[in-house]
Structure 1
Amino acid sequence: MLYPELYAQLEKARWNMATDIPWEEFDADKLTDEQAQTVRMNAITEWSALPATEMFLRDNKDDSDFSAFMSIWFYEEQKHSLVLMEYLRRFRPELVPTEAELHAVRFEFDPAPKLETLMLHFCGELRLTQWYRCASEWHSEPVIKHIYRTLSHDEARHGGAYLKYMKRAIEQHGDEARTAFAKIGMLMAASARAGKPLHPTNLHVNQSLFPNDTVQSRLPDPDWLEDWLTQKIRFGSEWEQRVVGGILRNLSSLFGVELDTVQALNRYRKTLGASPAA
């Protein structure tokens, strides 16, 4: 089982919201209205760990190990929402999300193949790691800069945990897992070419609710994410390459082959599709 090992690792890295966030360093002159609004939207977005956890538990009823790990992931992701709301409560109380706004991003996700979902969320953690690093650099107020750095470190650790379950999946399912991971890896690594970097919160996940079936579509401002990335934190090609590089490096290690470009990943994916096992 991976859960006991991951519990011990993540427990050592766990931060305390009361003592590890330097609330006393807040500088009101360095927090703009624009920046405070982005904190509000991220707080609501992070609340969507709730329906994601419900999805994982539903679709992994045969996997008690991974389901137990969800207790850690869910706790830490909900704490991300909570610390952002605490920041607003202390310094911009008029912007604290309402319970109705939080509940709006809790809706049922359609069932999906477990291996593809695992890879999708692994890539999502890599992307969030870089989004939050970039956000920390964009912000000028010291406390929220520290919070985003803290969240970025959490997301990186979560990606590492998902990677361990991906390694286990290859041991158990062989080329079936490799094919699923390569397919989603291609989708996520090449998504920026279509002008829309993909993340679990902007994917359609419930056909009966379409088009109001992405987390972002259910925010008070459905266009917020694109504007935040392009006009606010300016998550450009240099940052995007860090995401793509992380996907390729980890898949190279996972598959035991060198995948230094998206094209190389695509060629490898095609070899899996041609194999009898696939």
Structure 2
Amino acid sequence: MLYPELFKQLESVRWDMDKDIPWDSFDPAMLSDEQAATIKMNAITEWAALPATEMFLRDNRGDSDFSAFMSIWFFEEQKHSLVLMEYLRRFRPDMVPTEEELHAIRFEFDPAPALETLMLHFCGEIRLNHWYRRASDWHTEPVIKAIYTKLSQDEARHGGAYLKYMKRAIGKFGVEAKSAFAKVGVLMASARRTAQALHPTNLHVNKSLFPRDTIQSRLPNPEWLEHWLDKQINFDAVWETKVVERILHNMSLLMERSFTTVQELNKFRKELSKDLTGAPVASPGAV
């Protein structure tokens, strides 16, 4: 099992919201209304760990190890939402999300292949790590800069934990797991070719609720994410390239084969699709 060791590792570096956030360093002159509004949107978006965890537990009933790990991931992701709300409660109480705004993003996700979902969230952690690093750079107020740094470090650790479960899946399911990871990897490393930000909170997940079946579409301001990325934290081509490079680097480690471009990964994906006949089939929810 991976859960016991992951628990020890993540427990050893867990930060304390009271002791490790420099609340006394707050500088009101360095926080604008524009910046406070983005903090509110991120606080609500982080609350989406709740429906995501419900999805993971439902779709991984056959995997108690991974389901147990969700207890860590869920706790730390909800803590992200909580610390952002605590910041607003202390310094901009008019911006604190309401319970109704938080509950609006709790809806059921359609069932999806467990391996592909695992890879999707692995890539999401990489992307969010980079988004929060840019957010910390963009903000000028010292406390929120420190908070976003903490969050970005957590997201990187979560990505590392997902990677361990992906390695385990390859050991169990071989070509099928590699094919699922390569398929989603190509998608998530191709953001420059899409009109929307490629992150789990921005993807459609419930056909019956379309088009309001993304987390972002159910926020108080559904348009905020693109504006935040393009006009505020300036998540430009240089930073997008960093995300792609991290995805390709980790795919190279997983597949024991070098990928320097998305095209190379896509070529590998096509090779795997030819090998799937006769490969062991993963049982539902087993990663």
TM-score normalised over the length of structure 2: 0.96
CA distance in 2, matches of 1:238, 1:3: 35
Q: Quick one: which amino acid aligns to residue 56 of structure 2?
A: F
Unaligned runs of 5+ in 1: none
Q: Quick one: which amino acid aligns to residue 193 of structure 1?
A: R
Following superposition, the deviation at residue 164 of structure 1 comes to 0.1
Q: Quick one: which amino acid aligns to residue 26 of structure 2?
A: F
Following superposition, the deviation at residue 195 of structure 1 comes to 3.0
Unaligned runs of 5+ in 2: 280-287
CA distance in 1, matches of 2:219, 2:181: 30
Counterpart secondary structure, 2:140: coil
Aligned residues of 1:188 and 1:197 also touching (Cα < 8 A): no
Q: Quick one: which amino acid aligns to residue 159 of structure 1?
A: G
CA distance in 1, matches of 2:20, 2:195: 37
User: What residue is the counterpart of 1:192 in the other structure?
Assistant: 192
CA distance in 2, matches of 1:194, 1:172: 33
Aligned residues of 1:189 and 1:247 also touching (Cα < 8 A): yes
User: What residue is the counterpart of 2:182 in the other structure?
Assistant: 182
Following superposition, the deviation at residue 277 of structure 1 comes to 4.2
Question: Does residue 1:35 correspond to 2:41, yes or no?
Answer: no
Counterpart secondary structure, 2:61: coil
Aligned residues of 1:43 and 1:82 also touching (Cα < 8 A): yes
Following superposition, the deviation at residue 274 of structure 1 comes to 1.4
Identical-pair percentage: 69
Aligned residues of 2:251 and 2:259 also touching (Cα < 8 A): yes
CA distance in 2, matches of 1:277, 1:262: 27
Higher RCO, Cα 8 Å, sep 6+: 2
Matches within 5 A, 1:60-79: 60-79=60-79
Aligned residues of 1:175 and 1:277 also touching (Cα < 8 A): no
Aligned residues of 2:197 and 2:226 also touching (Cα < 8 A): no
Supply the RMSD in Å over aligned alpha carbons. 0.7
Counterpart secondary structure, 1:143: helix
- What do the CA deviations read for 1:146-169 (whole angstroms, capped 9, x no partner)? 000000000000000000000000
CA distance in 2, matches of 1:205, 1:277: 30
User: What residue is the counterpart of 1:247 in the other structure?
Assistant: 247
Matches within 5 A, 1:1-278: 1-275=1-275, 276-277=277-278
CA distance in 1, matches of 2:200, 2:217: 12
